[in-house]
């Protein structure tokens, strides 16, 4: 079967390469990564008898995306059966359920993770494509890896996605991750991929692309992507640059880290009246988080220099663990979550100088604004959980309106709550509330 195949040069190597088990394609809008994957799969199905599984999170989305794209390319190449007479010589597209059947017996089937029971009976799969893989749960990805098996044929797993937040499993699995203890594991530096565009690492074929790599895009489309820089920097990063990053508006853009010794040197010169301890309670999925802080009152800098972060501990176990963590902990006031009066009373009986914070309607927002008013938030490199939770903390969005919710976040940041409580008796002046100095011409 003679076919006139035209491919984007950026994807030529990928389309004809079958040397690796796993292929990861990351790219911006309009980069043609999905188009390249479909070309690759069609050519393979024409060359060998293969059974390909195409997966998206929601089954019905195949209709206007993957299935539609297969039909478009098959029709462009002149090999899509248009009548029953062509069934033996061309590819047959069936829509209920979505399926493609090739003259040599190759098949492409389409499934959704929203109907997992439909995946259990599948066998003989040698190639899996996860389109928009960042939308699929990590557990689903691992489940599909286990279903990829064939007695004789080579096995291949293709993943394609627009980059999203660095907290998504695609990033943490293939690039960088931080565990609950704050230890970072680097599989591959994503900046290196953006620079080199194609990398094979640990047996994985990494491919990066942007709209500039698609020779068939109209200039107006690229112009629209460029315009995103002006009105939506986050979307510009994803759509135009094809880069992972913090997804959303950061709550604490002034957050930074500093070597632990340097932080302690700075903190040692701060008066004790500007040193604070806050505690948030947790047990099962939440954490007991205790944070030691110091405030440079003149410069309005907040130092975070010591943390305690544990769960699955009873109050007696936590009390002992706190003393082991800091032998002076009972000598200083700890301001804790007032929603746990029973716990606070227990610690007081154990000799802790524990006080309840002042909570009121709107206190979450007020506390968030208070912390945001610090000009710098400097965190010791030893406070790994503070770094993990606060460095990329973003505001939650209303699902209907897409508006930011100013007192809700993308995660439940236990260390942030501890900071709120610890600073309960300290106020950071709001610039809007500062009175102009008339002798100096105002502020």
CA dihedral angle for residue 364, residue 367, residue 368, residue 374, rounded to 10 degrees: 180
Q: pLDDT by residue (tens digit) across 351-397? A: 999 999 998 888 899 899 899 999 899 999 999 999 999 988 998 88
In this structure, are residues 242 and 255 in contact, taking their beta carbons and an 8 Å threshold? no
- In this prediction, residue 266 has a pLDDT band, given cuts at 50, 70 and 90, of very high
Note the pLDDT of residue 118: 62
Q: Percent of the chain having pLDDT more than 70? A: 94
Rounded CA separation 108/131 (Å) = 14
Domains of the chain, each with CATH number or no CATH: 9-239 (3.40.50.300), 255-430 (3.30.420.280)
- pLDDT for the residue 398: 81
Q: What is the pLDDT of residues 29-65, one digit of tens each?
A: 999 999 999 999 999 999 999 999 999 988 889 999 9
The pLDDT assigned to 435 comes to 41
Cα gap 175→189, rounded to integer Å: 6
| Per-residue model confidence (pLDDT) at position 232 | 73
User: What are the CA-CA distances from residue 75 to residues 3, 240, 304 (Å)?
Assistant: 11, 29, 61
- Residue 439: pLDDT over 50: no
CA of residue 14 relative to chain centroid, distance:
26
**Residue 302 backbone zone (phi > 0: left; psi -120 to 50: alpha; other: beta):** beta
């Amino acid at each position: 079967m003679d076919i006139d195949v035209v491919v984007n040069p950026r994807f030529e190597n990928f389309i004809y390469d079958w040397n690796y088990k796993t292929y990861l394609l990351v790219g911006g809008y309009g980069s043609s990564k999905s188009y390249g994957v479909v070309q690759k799969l069609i050519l393979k199905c024409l060359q060998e008898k293969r059974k390909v599984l195409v997966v998206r999170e929601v089954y019905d989305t195949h209709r206007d995306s993957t299935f539609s794209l297969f039909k478009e390319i098959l029709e462009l190449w002149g090999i899509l059966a248009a009548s029953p007479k062509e069934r033996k010589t061309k590819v047959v597209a069936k829509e209920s359920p979505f399926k493609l059947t090739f003259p040599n017996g190759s098949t492409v089937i389409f499934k959704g993770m929203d109907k997992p029971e439909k995946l259990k009976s599948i066998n003989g799969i040698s190639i899996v494509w996860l389109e928009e893989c960042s939308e699929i749960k990590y557990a689903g990805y691992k489940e599909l890896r286990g279903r990829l098996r064939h007695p004789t044929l080579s096995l291949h797993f293709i993943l394609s996605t627009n980059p999203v937040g660095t907290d998504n499993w695609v990033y943490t699995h293939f690039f960088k991750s931080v565990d609950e203890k704050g230890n970072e594991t680097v599989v591959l530096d994503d900046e290196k991929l953006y620079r080199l565009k194609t990398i094979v690492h640990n047996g994985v074929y990494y491919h990066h692309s942007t709209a500039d790599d698609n020779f068939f895009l109209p200039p107006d489309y690229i112009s629209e992507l460029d315009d995103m820089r002006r009105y939506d920097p986050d979307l510009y990063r994803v759509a135009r640059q094809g880069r992972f990053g913090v997804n959303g508006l950061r709550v604490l853009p002034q957050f930074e880290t500093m070597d632990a010794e340097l932080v302690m040197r700075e903190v040692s010169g701060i008066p004790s009246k500007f040193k604070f301890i806050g505690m948030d309670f947790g047990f099962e999925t939440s954490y007991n988080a205790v944070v030691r802080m110091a405030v440079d009152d003149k410069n309005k800098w907040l130092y975070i220099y010591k943390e305690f972060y544990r769960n699955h501990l009873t109050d007696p176990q936590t009390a002992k663990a706190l003393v082991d963590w800091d032998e002076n902990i009972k000598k200083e006031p700890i301001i804790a979550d007032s929603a746990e009066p029973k716990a606070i009373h227990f610690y007081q009986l154990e000799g802790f100088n524990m006080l309840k914070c002042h909570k009121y309607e709107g206190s979450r927002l007020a506390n968030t604004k208070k912390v945001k008013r610090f000009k710098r938030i400097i965190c010791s490199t030893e406070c790994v959980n503070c770094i993990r939770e606060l460095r990329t903390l973003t505001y939650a969005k209303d699902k209907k309106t897409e508006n930011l919710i100013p007192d809700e976040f993308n995660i439940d940041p236990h260390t942030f709550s501890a900071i709120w409580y610890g600073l309960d008796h300290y106020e950071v002046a709001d610039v809007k509330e500062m009175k102009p100095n008339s002798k100096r011409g105002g502020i």
